[in-house]
Structure 1
């Protein structure tokens, strides 16, 4: 089976699929944006912003995927988005967010315009970045697979309103109505909807997606990049280091985490926050036992995890947060919530604790329990590493997706068709 894989940004699960397909010579084409093979070294030497440009291009390198298979579309649009994010992203998050969705639409349009020259059996596309390419792929008889990496828009907005208290329709973390309509159209057009967790699969069932269209496969982790160290160096303090990695956002439960941290001032526990800022207001008035350390590339994240004592992700909504698997691979006990799809991988009390989303008392109790018991932290961290080693590599994930696609392709069109694609979603 020959595949066309498309993504407007670097996303680990779809890269794993592309690598697996390329490894067995079934990758017809990999569409992305703002990709320039071999440009990072010379870009980094530019006298103005060279280091930042080089870092951005480095993020768009794709080891394990043949450069001859990679095509770039919508690069000018993505460049504008990157500049907007760098210049006004923190001050005007809605502007950067609106541009992100605009780039996804332009990307899907660009892929669709090139598809007639591709000979393939299946097109795999990303959430909110695939409707136009699906329409063209369906016209040509290709199998369409939607990589559904988020919650359903209606559920994401519901959790943000109910648990984070966001009101109105203008907040940058809420999915805009026109984007929600695009996602609904993509769901309608897809032959297969790839989801990483039961948490998301159940949302889609409730929203009317047929059971036979849903394929649930949990994510993997880079076991070589994320690993524990044999012996942590001696530190000059006696604090337990609790690490959070992710967006600084209401959706990730940052206000809840800071409230919990404030209640633990005076106890020997310190919180380190690492990740990009989505909603600046969540970082106002940090407690004295919390330090925000900025965003970080994967290498920095891995290094911080090796130095931490435990990991926390108090998310209010997360399809399957990779940072949970990365923390487990790093030998850390994890505290997360029932609304984190990756929390389904944890056995409560064995590799960490899974607490109800939005429950500050339960979150506080779990953190205290781990902070006060170094033996428990060690046992849980060892159990976490062993669990991901057994079944949660990206190679395993990629192979499972290709197997699922092959089985779907073997079905007669009448058994998997969901009818003609609907009208273009209005924006």
Structure 2
């Protein structure tokens, strides 16, 4: 039995597709990305990439058209995206196999695959969608913003997928706990942590002496808890500190930092992957304070470059590091805990070097995307065995 995948963007699904191809299991991968944007996706035959770019591509370019500020338009756009890609894939599925679809993109295609006697795996990259909606609503309220909420149609669709799916793949214990809290049967949940691109990320330098550099890579948003990170950096006492922020800054954060003292905070915007190696390698610590996500892959990138991590458990960090060994795990919404971690690194000259060494050891033991592929292959074999089907 072959594997069909559905994903509107790249996310981790193209890493999975490479692994499925490597194991001789990939049938095709449906995506909203245009094919010309996927030429660098080596290891996947182009004929196995089925694109449906008519909704996703203009959505990606909406900021250039000045449409990204219209919440109602974006809401309808996202709903159209998840429905059209899902239905397009459903019409294309003709034979029994294994379907793994990114959540909210697999209800129709999952039903189609099951009607043919196949297996449907819902792949969820973040916490349970209701948990996600609730924690973000609370966070927006804390900072004085209105949370428009996840589209009720998508909330309903995803939760139908959770019930319909034979299995739900998730990347971290944090995500698993959110599903169990919402009443999903633990036996349906299969935790498969993501890997890191060990071929792309490696240690190429060391931090500058007599300077304390904190690095942020990823979306700069309320969801990522950026203001707690910024407040910790501002309150931390050090004569030569620097906060490098790489990533797109959300509207909410832009409005909040207008009133902030941003001395020694350097916003770099979007930076190419090829340049991230130097930032990771030459920073004293990588900081990620998310309120909610699945398993932030930037953490694996930092580890692969020997950069210790300070992260909340809601980033999936507990599936990557051990507290006080490769970095620190701190509570959400807690700037004081972050400051304490900064101080420990500064007060112990050898601690950063020890953590850097441990980070390199740990990321090698995690095995990169090959381990992820092996684990996913094992799940597929288990699913087929339990369904009394054959490969």
TM-score (norm 2): 0.91
Q: Look up the match of 1:68.
A: 47
- Equivalence for 2:10: 10
Aligned partner (choices 33, 36, 60) of residue 82 of structure 1: 60
Report Cα offsets for 1:365-415 as digits up to 9, x if no partner: 11222244342111101101101101241011011101111111111379x
C-alpha separation in 2, matches of 1:330 and 1:123: 34
Provide the rounded CA distance (Å) in 1 between the counterparts of 2:66 and 2:346: 38
Q: 1:189, CA displacement in angstroms?
A: 1.3
1:24-423 matched pairs, under 5 angstroms: 24-36=23-35, 39=36, 57=37, 61-73=40-52, 75-88=53-66, 91-92=69-70, 95-96=73-74, 99-116=77-94, 119-163=95-139, 165=141, 171=147, 174-229=149-204, 231-232=205-206, 238-264=210-236, 267-279=239-251, 280-286=254-260, 287-412=262-387
User: Are the equivalent residues in 1 in contact too, given 2:141–2:147 (CA < 8 A)?
Assistant: no
- Partners in 2 of 1:86 and 1:166 — Cα distance? 31
Note the alpha carbon deviations across 1:60-84, whole angstroms, 9 max, x for none: 64211111211112x1111221221
Q: Which runs of 5+ in 2 are unaligned?
A: none
Is contact 1:34–1:79 with CA below 8 Å preserved after alignment?
A: yes
CA distance in 2, matches of 1:265, 1:22: 51
Distance in 2 (alpha carbons) for counterparts of 1:4 and 1:147: 12
Question: 1:43 maps to what in 2?
Answer: none
Mark the runs of 5 or more structure 1 residues left unpaired by the alignment.
40-56, 415-427
Deviation, structure 1 residue 121: 1.4
The 1-side partners of 2:96 and 2:116 are apart by 10
Indicate conservation of the 8 Å contact 2:96/2:113, yes or no. no
- Partner Cα separation in structure 1 for residue 79 and residue 306 of structure 2: 36
Q: The residue matched to 2:350 in structure 1 has which SS? A: helix
Shift of 1:93: 6.3
Structure 1 residues 326 and 109: CA distance shift in structure 2, 3 A: same
Q: How many residues align?
A: 386
**What SS does the corresponding residue of 1:85 show, helix, strand or coil?**
coil
Within 1, Cα distance between the matches of 2:19 and 2:101?
16
- After the TM superposition, which parts of structure 1 deviate over 6 Å for at least 4 consecutive aligned residues? none
Cα separation, partners in 2 of 1:412 and 1:76, compared to 1, 3 Å: closer
| Structure 1 pair 273–136 and aligned structure 2 pair: CA distance change class (3 A) | same
Offset, 1:170: 5.5
- Contact 1:319/1:342, CA 8 A, preserved across alignment: no
Answer whether contact 2:236 2:342 (CA < 8 A) is retained: no
> What SS is found at the alignment partner of 2:245?
strand
Task: Output the aligned Cα RMSD.
Answer: 2.4
Q: Is the 8 A contact 2:32 2:57 kept in 1?
A: no
C-alpha separation in 2, matches of 1:94 and 1:222: 37
CA gap 1:168/1:124 in 2 versus in 1, 3 angstroms: farther
